[in-house]
Amino acid sequence: MAGQGLLAVGVPPQPLWLLYVKLAVLVISLIVLAIAAYALSLWPAGAGGMDIFVAILSFIVYGTTGALELWSPHNFYRIGALIGYILTVIFWLAAWAWSASDASAWISFVGYTALGGALGGCAGLGAIAWILVIVHLAFFIRASVADGPEGSGQAELGQVKAEVSPQQYQQPYPAQQPYPAQEPYPAQPYAQPQQPQQ
C-alpha cells in the first residue's frame, strides 16, 4: 500500500531546499508574531490573537520536527509530523483569511489605518507562509510515500550510512566439543510409606 511510507519511523530523504522552506516559515512566523502583538496592543481583540496562536503553533511544529530530523532521526514519527503539518496548513489559512477580513473592515469602515495596516501585514505574510507550508507538506508526503514502509531513517542534510548488521561482524562459533556423558545416579531404594496401625 502506498500510504505505508507515512506510517514509518525515520526521516524520509528530502531535498536540501526544504530546509530553507522550513526556515522561511519560522522567520515569517516570528515577523507575524511581532506584527500581531502590535495589532493586539492597538485593539485587544480580533484576528491578532489567532495570528499569535498560529505563529506559536508553527514554532512548535516546525521547531520540533526540525530538531528531530537533525539530531534524532530515529525518533521521527512521520505520522505525527504529518498531522502537525496538516494542522499548520489549516490554521495558517484561517489566520490569514481572518486577518485580511479584519484589516479590510478596520480600514474601510472605521478608518483606523494603523490597526488595519498591521492586520493587513499579518494577512499578507500569513498567505505567503500558508503557501510555503503547503509546498513543504506536499514534498514531505511525496518523499514519505516514495521511501516506503520500511523507512530509511536518513537525515535531512545528508545520507546516514546504513549500519552494518552485527551478523556480518560476528564470527561463527567454533564447533563445541561434546561433554562426556554422566553416569546416572545409582538406584536408591524407595521406601514405601507405612500405613499407621490402628
How many angstroms separate the CA atoms of 121 and 90, rounded?
19
The residue behind cell 502506498 is: 2
pLDDT above 70 as % of the chain: 77
Across 9-43, b (16+ Cβ under 10 Å) vs e yields ebbbbbeeebeebbeebbebbeebbebbebbbeeb
- Give tens-digit pLDDT for 116-168: 999 999 999 999 999 999 999 999 999 999 886 665 545 444 445 555 555 55
Per-residue model confidence (pLDDT) at position 197: 73
- pLDDT for 90 beyond 70: yes
Q: Which of 1-15, 99-113, 139-153, 159-173 has the lowest mean pLDDT?
A: 159-173
How many angstroms separate the CA atoms of 16 and 34, rounded?
28
The more confidently predicted of residues 173 and 63 is 63
- Give tens-digit pLDDT for 67-86: 999 899 999 999 999 999 99
- Give tens-digit pLDDT for 23-40: 999 999 999 999 999 999
**Residue 48 and residue 33 in contact, taking contact as beta carbons nearer than 8 Å:** no
**Residue 52 and residue 91 in contact, taking contact as beta carbons nearer than 8 Å:** no
Mean pLDDT of the chain: 85
pTM for the whole structure:
0.73
How many angstroms separate the CA atoms of 162 and 102, rounded?
53
**Residue 141 and residue 40 in contact, taking contact as beta carbons nearer than 8 Å:** no
Task: Say which residues have a Cβ less than 8 Å from residue 120's Cβ, sequence separation at least 6.
Answer: 99, 100, 103, 107
Per-residue model confidence (pLDDT) at position 195: 75
Per-residue model confidence (pLDDT) at position 112: 84
Per-residue model confidence (pLDDT) at position 150: 61
Task: Say which residues have a Cβ less than 8 Å from residue 95's Cβ, sequence separation at least 6.
Answer: 47, 50, 51, 53, 54, 122, 126
Mean local confidence (pLDDT), 164-175: 58
Closest C-alpha to 140, from 79, 55, 73: 79
